[in-house]
């Protein structure tokens, strides 16, 4: 192959860490499996990510790196069908992937994607996160792998005792995400990206993590806009003591009754990944000094343009892991709930499902959008079901919007029927909204910024590009908002007590 063709098919970029050789794929120069931090193995397990050593020569970046060790709900035989990653997996997972426009005349906006998966499964390499459509439209897309499950959110008294006084605890995944953003800040200009125009976006657990990062001082200035897709907003973070109790229970289940840190780090990663749990941000007093909900309530968050939204069928999450039974104990179907959801026809399961969607996702998203800020926020609801699914799927399932945002309808993992032209029209128009937001900080002149008195949502349904609707699900969301208000008061009270106690200890 002559040198001209080699340059066209295998682009090489020079970064501060060393040269990388990627692949030209259609409109994109693609670089896969790029390390943004050292492998968190051995003594580095559960430590903050450390810099990856620079290399000499040209490093190949043709293949994705391994996904993080992971496991899904015990009642799901194949987690790939619900967004989990196939093998290979490895603790050496701190890599990212870049799709850059092959032809760039000006620094391009950058979008950094945090995948979902309950912080226990998933990977930035999954085919429906392919960034080709973004590169085609002039955006540099970066997808990130980060530690998951017991490796991503783990605290234990033995680890606390060995940590330096200011070393964050229990938030390894958030620290990975911050390290990836720092890598983007320092390296992305080599790929044609603009480090001063970075949009952080993510779905489900990725969106939840973004809300936490918006309240973390260490992450300030690393991103300039944010998009939260189905990230909720009222799921409380875990206090450090509770996280340590969970860590002790995990170690005990694996035969480590009073382990030294070295014994914990000797446990095989597959055994750790298999231990189920709820994984998310930890209030450690170092990275996060209070619950992110409390921080949003007091206005202590990154004041950047924000898009936030939900899907009409978020309750599809209840289909796994006994979720319907568990949440049914919290949402009691009754006459008052039936009045809020006449479409449920007093069907108890449907009342639980709609109550879950609105209390866990829609009401907190609206609350986050309504926080006083200098910048603007935009609120959306995704309510489109592909034409071939409408007889069996009444609402847009959790994560269904991803395939439209990325224009990857043909890469869905669940054996979906082929997309129609109508499906693709909705997808193309929705994708443009995300692109416009990344470029300009606004998703289109016809989409009004959210103001509580106006209560304007962009509803993505059969109309490509969406329809503005005011008071979407208002009665139900007002009801759940009152319940959420009590939760917020409790969390703020808990944080105040923690602050007072810490002050007394210092004195």
Cα distances from 58 to residues 19, 20, 41, 159, in angstroms, run 5, 5, 25, 38
Q: Which of 316, 321, 307, 312 is nearest to 279 (CA)?
A: 321
Confidence of residue 410 (pLDDT cuts 50, 70, 90): very high
More reliable by pLDDT, 350 or 490? 350
Residues 129, 157: contact at Cβ < 8 Å? Answer: no
| Cα(406)–Cα(10) distance, integer angstroms | 24
Region 228-235 average pLDDT: 94
Virtual torsion, Cα 252, 257, 258, 260, nearest 10 deg: -70
User: What is the per-residue pLDDT across 120-161, written as a single tens digit (0 to 9) for each?
Assistant: 999 999 999 999 999 999 999 999 999 999 999 999 999 999
In the DSSP assignment, the letter for residue 67 is B
pLDDT in the model for residue 487: 81
What is the tens place of the pLDDT at every residue in 24-81?
999 999 999 999 999 999 999 999 999 999 999 999 999 999 999 999 888 888 999 8
Average pLDDT over residues 411-421: 89
Q: Which residues belong to the active site?
A: 204, 314, 398
pLDDT (0 to 100) of residue 104 = 81
3-state secondary structure of 402: helix
Indicate whether 417 pLDDT > 90.
Answer: no
Mean pLDDT of the chain: 93
Residue 506 has pLDDT above 60, yes or no: no
| pLDDT of 258 | 86
Contact 371, 296 (CB under 8 A): yes
Question: Average pLDDT for residues 351-370, to the nearest whole number?
Answer: 95
Confidence of residue 4 (pLDDT cuts 50, 70, 90): very low
For 77-113, give one letter per residue: b (16+ CB within 10 A) or e.
eebeebbbbeeebebebbbbbbbbbbeeeeebbbbbb
Please tell me the distance from the alpha carbon of residue 405 to that of residue 437, in angstroms, as a whole number: 12
Q: Is 58 helix (H, G, I), strand (E, B) or coil?
A: strand
* pLDDT digit string, tens, across residues 90-128: 999 999 999 999 988 789 999 999 999 999 999 999 999
pLDDT in tens, 311-328: 999 999 999 888 888 888
Calpha distance 314→312 (Å, rounded): 6
- What is the predicted pLDDT for the residue at 142? 98
pLDDT for 498 equals 61
Binning pLDDT at 50, 70 and 90, where does residue 493 land? Answer: confident
Domains and CATH numbers, the chain: 1-203+238-279 (3.40.50.1820), 323-507 (3.40.50.1820)
Yes or no: say if 323 and 353 are a contact pair by the CB < 8 Å rule. Answer: no
In percent, the amount of the chain with pLDDT more than 90 equals 82
Residues 6+ apart with CB under 8 A from 64: 32, 33, 95, 97, 123, 125
Q: According to the model, what pLDDT value does residue 391 have?
A: 84
Region 328-357: mean pLDDT is 87
Render 211-255 in DSSP notation, one character per residue.
HHHHH-GGGTTS-SEEEEES--S--PPEEHHHHHHHHHHHHHHTT
What band does 499 get if pLDDT is binned at 50, 70 and 90? low
If you average pLDDT over residues 15-19, what whole number do you get? Answer: 97
Query: In angstroms, rounded to a whole number, what is the distance separating the alpha carbons of residues 384 and 394?
Result: 10
How many Å from the N-terminal Cα to the C-terminal Cα in the chain? 71
Residues near 88 by beta carbon (within 8 Å), at least 6 away in sequence: 66, 67
Q: Which residues pair with 110 in a beta bridge?
A: 140, 198
Per-residue pLDDT at 328: 80
Q: What angle do CA 60, 83, 201 make, to 5 degrees?
A: 70
Q: What is the pLDDT of residue 500?
A: 53
Confidence of residue 344 (pLDDT cuts 50, 70, 90): confident
Q: Write the burial class of residue 436 (CB in 10 Å: 0-12 exposed, 13-18 middle, 19+ buried).
A: middle
Question: CB neighbours (10 Å) of residue 372?
Answer: 7
Residue 12: beta bridge partners? 21
CA 100 to chain centre: 21
DSSP state, residue 354: H
Task: Convert the pLDDT of each residue in 166-208 to its tens digit.
Answer: 999 999 999 999 999 999 999 999 999 999 999 999 999 999 9
């Amino acid at each position: 192959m002559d040198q001209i063709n080699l340059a066209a098919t295998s682009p090489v970029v020079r970064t501060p860490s060393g040269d990388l050789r990627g692949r030209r794929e259609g409109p994109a120069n693609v670089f896969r499996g790029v390390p943004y931090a050292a492998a968190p193995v051995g003594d580095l397990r559960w430590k903050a990510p450390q810099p990856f050593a620079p290399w000499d020569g040209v490093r190949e970046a043709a293949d994705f790196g391994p996904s993080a060790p992971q496991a899904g709900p015990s009642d799901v035989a194949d987690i790939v069908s619900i967004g989990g990653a196939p093998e290979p997996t490895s603790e050496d997972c701190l890599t990212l992937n870049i799709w850059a426009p092959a032809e760039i005349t000006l620094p391009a906006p950058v979008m950094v994607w945090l995948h979902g998966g309950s912080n226990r499964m998933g990977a930035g390499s999954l085919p429906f996160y392919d960034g080709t459509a973004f590169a085609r439209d002039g955006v540099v897309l970066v997808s990130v792998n980060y530690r998951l499950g017991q490796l991503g959110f783990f605290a234990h008294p033995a680890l606390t005792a060995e940590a330096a006084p200011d070393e964050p605890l229990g938030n390894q995944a958030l620290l990975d995400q911050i390290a990836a953003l720092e890598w983007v800040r320092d390296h992305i200009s080599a790929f044609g990206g603009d480090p001063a125009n970075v949009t952080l976006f993510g779905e489900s657990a990725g969106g939840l993590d973004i809300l936490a990062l918006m309240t973390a001082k260490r992450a300030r200035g690393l991103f300039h806009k944010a998009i939260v897709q189905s990230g909720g907003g009222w799921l409380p973070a875990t206090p450090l003591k509770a996280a340590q109790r969970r860590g002790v229970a995990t170690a005990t289940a694996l035969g480590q009754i009073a382990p030294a840190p070295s014994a914990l780090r000797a446990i095989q990663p597959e055994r750790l990944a298999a231990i189920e749990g709820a994984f998310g941000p930890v209030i450690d007093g170092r990275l996060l000094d209070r619950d992110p909900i409390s921080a949003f309530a007091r206005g202590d968050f990154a004041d950047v343009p924000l898009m936030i939204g939900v899907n009409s069928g978020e309750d599809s999450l209840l289909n796994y892991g006994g979720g319907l039974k568990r949440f049914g104990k919290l949402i009691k179907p009754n006459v008052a709930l039936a009045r809020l959801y006449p479409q449920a026809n007093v069907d108890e399961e449907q009342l639980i499902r709609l109550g879950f969607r609105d209390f866990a996702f829609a009401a907190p998203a609206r609350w986050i959008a309504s926080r006083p800020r200098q910048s603007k926020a935009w609120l959306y609801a995704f309510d489109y079901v592909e034409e071939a699914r409408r007889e069996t799927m009444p609402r847009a399932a959790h994560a269904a919007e991803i395939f439209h945002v990325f224009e990857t309808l043909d890469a869905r993992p669940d054996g979906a029927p082929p997309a129609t032209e109508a499906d693709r029209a909705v997808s193309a128009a929705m994708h443009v909204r995300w692109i416009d937001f990344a470029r300009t900080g606004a998703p289109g002149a016809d989409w009004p910024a959210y103001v509580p008195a106006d209560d304007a949502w962009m509803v993505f349904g059969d109309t490509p590009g969406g329809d503005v609707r005011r008071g979407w699900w208002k009665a139900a969301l007002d009801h759940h908002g009152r319940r959420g208000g009590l939760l917020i008061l409790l969390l703020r009270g808990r944080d105040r007590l923690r602050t007072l106690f810490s002050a007394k200890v210092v004195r």
